[in-house]
Amino acid sequence: MIRLAGANSVPVGLPKRIALPIFAVFAILFLGVMGYFLKIGFGTTGSAFGPGVTVAQQGDAVLQATPVPIATDPPGTFTVPQTGTGPVPGGAGGALPGQQTGGGTPAGPPAPVMAAVTELRGRIARNPKDLAALVTLGNMEFDARKFDTADALYARALTLDPTNPDVRTDDAVALHQTGHDLAALAQLERVLRERHDFPAAVFNRGVVLQAIGRGTDARAAFTHYLAIAGPNDPRAAAARAALEELAR
């Protein structure tokens, strides 16, 4: 038989007015200790659980996308995007630059660009005939204004695919930028022998001719360019300005 406590039973334990405050003090101490361990557990240094997952990393600059190289095209049908219109100083000066990556500092390019350069160099080391890697790296060196390096890469690419007018035009611009105007002119004239109205070569030929003092030929080149350029061509204004300067 279960014996029930009567009304006159002696109470066991501390009175409520004493027990509740003691319980509250212990609860506060317990929560404080747990909070401390949670703090060091999810901190960024000295952590019991390793570094926090939200620590910022280097190399988070936002860059324009580098064109995806296509290494499987047969000679004569190379499809890596090309401008054929690198910047040419002097004279008309308005040749369009290639796609810029940007984001670098005087200490060097940003981490994503350096990673891309390293990957491309590795591809070329493994396969010296990787046409896409040669051209893409040449474009990156061109945009970094390392024209000697760009010229060397373009020359290797042209050995593999001599029919690409974009690459040969970019190589001509790189040659002009390094002061090799006669070599640049030879490259542009080869492009135009194969593709008489290739706009980038026509325009840049005018720039090179003006730079070496062949004013009459430069005027003919810019006039030819304006005849084949579309109404919204971004280089048309530069060609007209060059013609005005040559007429003085």
Residue 230, pLDDT score: 80
Q: Using CA atoms, how far apart are residues 192 and 210, in angstroms rounded to an integer?
A: 17
pTM, two decimals, is 0.59
Walk along the chain (248 residues) in steps of 10 and give the mean pLDDT of each run. 42 55 61 48 36 26 30 34 42 39 56 93 96 96 95 97 96 96 97 95 96 96 94 90 94
Q: Using CA atoms, how far apart are residues 144 and 124, in angstroms rounded to an integer?
A: 19
Q: Using CA atoms, how far apart are residues 128 and 145, in angstroms rounded to an integer?
A: 23
Instruction: Kindly report, residue by residue over 87-107, the tens digit of the pLDDT.
Output: 444 444 444 333 333 444 555
Residue 189, pLDDT score: 97
Alpha carbons within 13 angstroms on the beta-carbon side of residue 125 total: 6
Cβ-based neighbours of 56, under 8 Å, separated by 6 or more: none
Q: Using CA atoms, how far apart are residues 143 and 141, in angstroms rounded to an integer?
A: 5
Q: Which of 220, 222, 221, 213 is nearest to 241 (CA)?
A: 222
**Neighbour tally for 101: CB within 10 Å:** 21
Position of tokens 């474009």?
139
CB 93 within 8 A of CB 238: yes
